[in-house]
A and B are shown apart, each in its own frame.
Chain A
Amino acid sequence: MSSVHSVSAAAADHAHDHAHEDHGAPTGWRRWLFATNHKDIGTMYLLFSLIMFFIGGAMAMIIRAELFQPGLQLVDPGFFNMMTTVHALVMVFGAVMPATVGLANWMLPLQVGAPDMALPRMNNFSFWLLVAAFTLLILSLFVPGGGPAAGWTLYPPLVIQTGNSLPMAIFAIHLAGASSIMGSINIIVTIMNLRAPGMSLLKMPLFTWTWLITAYLLIAVMPVFAGAVTMVLTDHFFGTTFFSATGGGDPVLYQHVFWFFGHPEVYIMILPAFGIVSEIIPTFSRKPLFGYDAMVFATASIAFLSFIVWAHHMFTTGMPLAGEMFFMLSTMLIAVPTGVKVFNWTATMWRGSLTFEPPMLFSLSFLFLFTIGGFSGLMMSIAPVDFQYHDTYFIVAHFHYVLVPGAVFAIMAGVYYWLPKWTGHMYSMTLAKWHFWLSTIFVNILFFPQHFLGLAGMPRRIPDYATQFAEFNMISSIGAFGFGLSQLLFAYIIWACVRGGEKASDKVWDGADPHGLEWTVPSPAPHHTFDVPPVVK
């Protein structure tokens, strides 16, 4: 594919003329409550996810403060369990997923040359459902009996012991799931039906591609999760015995159903991150992406494989040997397309003229640190050794490496990459670089020692631990406080960039213009863009 998109000058000018027209759109709070504009909804998604990032982050601070020293100091164990459970649910469904949906809302129409998302009203509905879902989930912490505390995987029989908050948490998951499904339908319809003339599927930017695949994954697995938690609900209230042994049910069955959803879910969080990094690295290397077609097919293979590896989360449940072998080998197979991606990003930089603006810094950090997370994943895919790693801090270190310096850093890279296009202002490069270095250093202080803790046998999800683990836990907690505080800088940089700053040019980045239609519209992107579709050659 040639990554050069040429837009007819007339179309670009036309878009410019529309910049200051408002079409009688509502203003004030109505603009947001009744929003149907993809940019407004994208902004709301991103703000929502930032707020959730801080709420989930505050819970992580409580967890790390309790683990700062051995012994029980700050919170009681029941509350600690609520924190680990709700921290994970908030970060997965409230921070990472809505952030990528927000980026999709903002950028997909701009990247494919569409005037808006295909189904703007459904778009509005899916955003507000999400707000309802998380209001319900957060409120569930305050009901008598306490919030959900059985871990984000909600395994029975433990989850059945949850008090009044159980139906609240489950309905929150239903609502968030419905929201994701509608968001995904919207994204697929937009990509399939609203691409500009001349933009064939294999000319689409990588971020669009990864979201197309992610959206299909979401539609395929979110309903399965909704089904699983519905069964938990009926087991609790209506005497069914899907998972309760008393009536012939099987708790291990829940784990199968959950991870049939849960494994694709982790790719739902990381594939859009792959897309963002695939946009940024070529821009700041001033080269087209190396192996575009291979990148698309690698993404599709990862998505396919994600459906047949779920039981690697369950090696210790007593599977037959053939099952352990199958899930071990199919899991290892995922390293191949993932390796294709990592090597292609590296090859993109080969002999490029690199510059290191904040989006590129975060992408490079992503490349290194996500790969570390990938490697620890590969270690755990080996069934016989997984018996040692299972449910220890090693797995905690693994999934935080792929999700924090993985997915979250890629999202931050995306925000720094497109923020001038959204606001029309450049942000402070100095502050953003400070944010980058603080985050990268502290995230490693936070999560790297957890590998050692896990290998030494410290179990996850406990508020207290043996004194031999004290030093590494203290180091990890210091890293956590540093990382948490550094994110306040991120919020300040965004706030300052919205308020003002140096005027951003249309192409924003020196190397950006051949890499996507979004750089052909003015900065800030006007409320309505591509009323007349651009022509892609």
Chain B
Amino acid sequence: MNENLRVENRKLTRQLWLMAVGAFGFGFALIPLYDVMCDITGYGNRASLREASTVVETAVSDRRVTVEMISATPTFGSWEFHPMAASMVVEPGKLYETKFYAKNLQEQSVTAQAIPSIAPSQATRFFHKTECFCFTPQHFEGLEGREMSVRFIVDPDLPGNVDRVTLAYSMYTMPQVAAAQ
């Protein structure tokens, strides 16, 4: 193999390795890009689901929207968790409060995090939580059970074709690493 070719080979090899390294980086860049996409498509970014909204009550209308509450416990057997009311009929623009009941079924104390989700997804931007047990991790003593509240306002700008919004919470036991922080 002549020297010229060797140099050419090395140059192309280096470029291709750079491409591979770039692709590895791109894989990680997809994570923040995902949040950007979620913002653009109107899902709201993942963090905003867990942040308090500052909205004020607005004008009265005769529109009514049904809000349904559901709960899930991904780790089987460690939680009792359910909404106190299965559904309520609300007036957009007015502030409402509802409660969820959670009980730690284990002997030892744990820290839990509830993760909210709104369906249909296009309603996410129009469902404002001013106060929620999902904003912060919740500490439970062994076998402790208690009611936790969420206050919300359904935005009057909610698209007209939506007459039913489902608010779902999943209750996760926080890993010890995260709980220590």
Contact = CB atoms under 8 A, between A and B. Distances in A.
Contact of A248 (B28, B46, B74, B170): B46
B56 to A, nearest CB: 27
Given A245-B115, A246-B175, A221 B34 contact: no
Interface stretch (B16-24, B99-107, B142-150): B16-24
Nearest to B14: A185
B12 to A, nearest CB: 5
B16 A157 contact: no
A260 interface: yes
B35 to A, nearest CB: 9
Q: Give the contact-size bracket for chain B.
A: 35 or more
B30 interface: yes
B122 interface: yes
Interface in B4-32: 5, 8-9, 12-13, 16-17, 19-21, 23-24, 26-28, 30-31
Nearest to A216: B19
Contacts of B178: 239, 241, 246-247
A231 B23 CA distance: 15
B133 interface: no
A224 interface: yes
Interface in B111-131: 113, 115, 119, 121-122
B9 A220 contact: no
A250 B20 contact: no
B122 A189 contact: no
Contact of A223 (B12, B20, B43): B20
Nearest to B33: A256
Contacts of A50: none
B14 to A, nearest CB: 10
- Judged by DSSP, the binding face of B is helix
A119 B122 contact: no
B181 to A, nearest CB: 9
Contacts of B174: 246
B12 A193 contact: yes
A242 B115 contact: no
A524 B178 CA distance: 63
A63 interface: no
A245 B74 CA distance: 11
Given A223-B21, A245-B115, A257-B30, A250 B9 contact: no
Contacts of B47: 248
Nearest to B49: A248
Contacts of B26: 223-224, 227
B12 A192 contact: yes
Contacts of B12: 188-189, 192-193
A193 B9 contact: yes
Contacts of B8: 193
Contacts of B5: 193-194
A129 interface: no
> Which of B16, B43, B119: most chain A CB closer than 10 A?
B16
Contacts of A253: 30-31, 34
Given A193-B8, A246-B113, A322-B41, A223 B13 contact: no
Contacts of A220: 19, 23
Nearest to B50: A248
B60 interface: no
Nearest to A260: B30
B91 to A, nearest CB: 27
B24 A226 contact: yes
Contact of B27 (A157, A193, A228): A228
Interface string A187-212: 01100111000000000000000000
B31 to A, nearest CB: 6
A189 B20 contact: no
Contacts of B30: 224, 253, 256-257, 260
A318 interface: yes
Interface in B32-71: 34, 41-43, 46-47, 50
A181 B20 contact: yes
B24 A320 contact: no
A318 B115 CA distance: 17
B15 to A, nearest CB: 9
Interface string A244-279: 011111100100110011000000000000000000
15 contacts: A118-B9, A119-B9, A181-B20, A189-B9, A193-B5, A223-B24, A224-B27, A226-B27, A239-B178, A242-B31, A245-B172, A247-B113, A247-B178, A318-B119, A318-B121
Q: Which 7 A-B pairs have the closest CB atoms?
A: A227-B27, A223-B24, A239-B177, A224-B27, A223-B23, A246-B172, A185-B16
